[in-house]
Structure 1
Amino acid sequence: MDIKQVQTSNDISELARLGADIWQQHYVTIISHEQIAYMLDKFQSVQAITEQIEKQGYEYYFLIANGEKIGYIGAKQEEGKLFLSKCYIEKSHRGKGYASQAFAFLETLCQKRGLTKMWLTVNRHNKDSIAVYEKKGFQKVRTQIADIGNGYVMDDFIMEKELVDH
């Protein structure tokens, strides 16, 4: 698998399209179609991603297998930690080791930057993703309910992973 940083406006448009496809596949059993549409617009639209990259310090990376963009990760460095904001892989490509490769990439990134911890938020009802994160060494540290507007909330676990020097 190759990992390529999202840099151009064309990349951002592709990322928004890929995100919409994956979110429709994955979240439909967890949250309503209306909330998916709202969250895509608020967090994964071309405008939102551009703002995150240009003004908020986020980095996005495509996950590429056999020349095809099969998923992406989004992260932000903050206070000696890496916040893993997004880690999504298309349904047909899950279970093939791509998440493990993405996490190895992120751990190497953290090592190079001297970061000691990774953390993320995950919907408390997203059992498959929670299982993957736990398998990768993340632990639940607390719960968080965040009002994201329009009558919607994100009901999440916050999970962390301590990074050890290799």
Structure 2
Amino acid sequence: MKSINIVECKNEKDLKEVSILAEKIWHEFFPRIISEAQIDYMVEQFQSFDAMQDQVKHQQYHYHKVYEGDELVGYIGLQNQPDRLFLSKLYLKDLARGKHYGAPVRCS
């Protein structure tokens, strides 16, 4: 298994890269659950570049790219809320799923 690396999106270029990946992931995974029209709507409303940019500017979101080795395989969206850090989005490409990247870790 390759190592993963999580890198914060620092600029519009990073955010654009994540939004392109988001559209790919949503159209890869969700057709078995919802219609293409619903996927297009959800991507436009919540996963598009404009939506993500608004979330960063006005809703206290931070986005991070997830790499497996050198390949961009997913993204994470976190939102600062008054009493917690909310994990809003954690999406991975098909090739990175099932590897327990999102599994809880036991602390000793």
* TM exceeding 0.5: yes
Q: Where does 1:10-159 land on structure 2 (aligned, <5 Å)?
A: 10-100=13-103
Q: CA deviation at 1:31?
A: 1.0
Deviates more, 1:35-44 or 1:80-89: 80-89
- Secondary structure at 1:99 match in 2: coil
Question: What amino acid does structure 2 have at the position aligned with 1:62?
Answer: K
Residue ranges of structure 1 left out of the alignment (5+ in a row): 105-135, 137-164
Q: Which of 1 and 2 has higher RCO (CA within 8 Å, sep 6+)?
A: 2
Q: CA deviation at 1:73?
A: 0.8
Scaled by the length of structure 2, the TM-score of the pair is 0.88
Question: What amino acid does structure 2 have at the position aligned with 1:2?
Answer: N
Q: CA deviation at 1:99?
A: 1.9
2:18 matched to 1:6?
A: no
Q: CA deviation at 1:71?
A: 0.4
Question: What amino acid does structure 2 have at the position aligned with 1:80?
Answer: D
Show structure 1 runs of 4+ deviating over 4 A: none
Q: CA deviation at 1:82?
A: 2.0
CA RMSD across the alignment: 1.9
CA distance in 2, matches of 1:49, 1:98: 23
- Higher share of residues assigned strand: 1
Q: CA deviation at 1:16?
A: 0.6
Over the matched positions of the two proteins, sequence identity in percent amounts to 34
Q: CA deviation at 1:43?
A: 0.7
CA distance in 2, matches of 1:85, 1:57: 11
- Determine which structure has more spread, i.e. the larger CA radius of gyration: 1
Question: What amino acid does structure 2 have at the position aligned with 1:15?
Answer: V
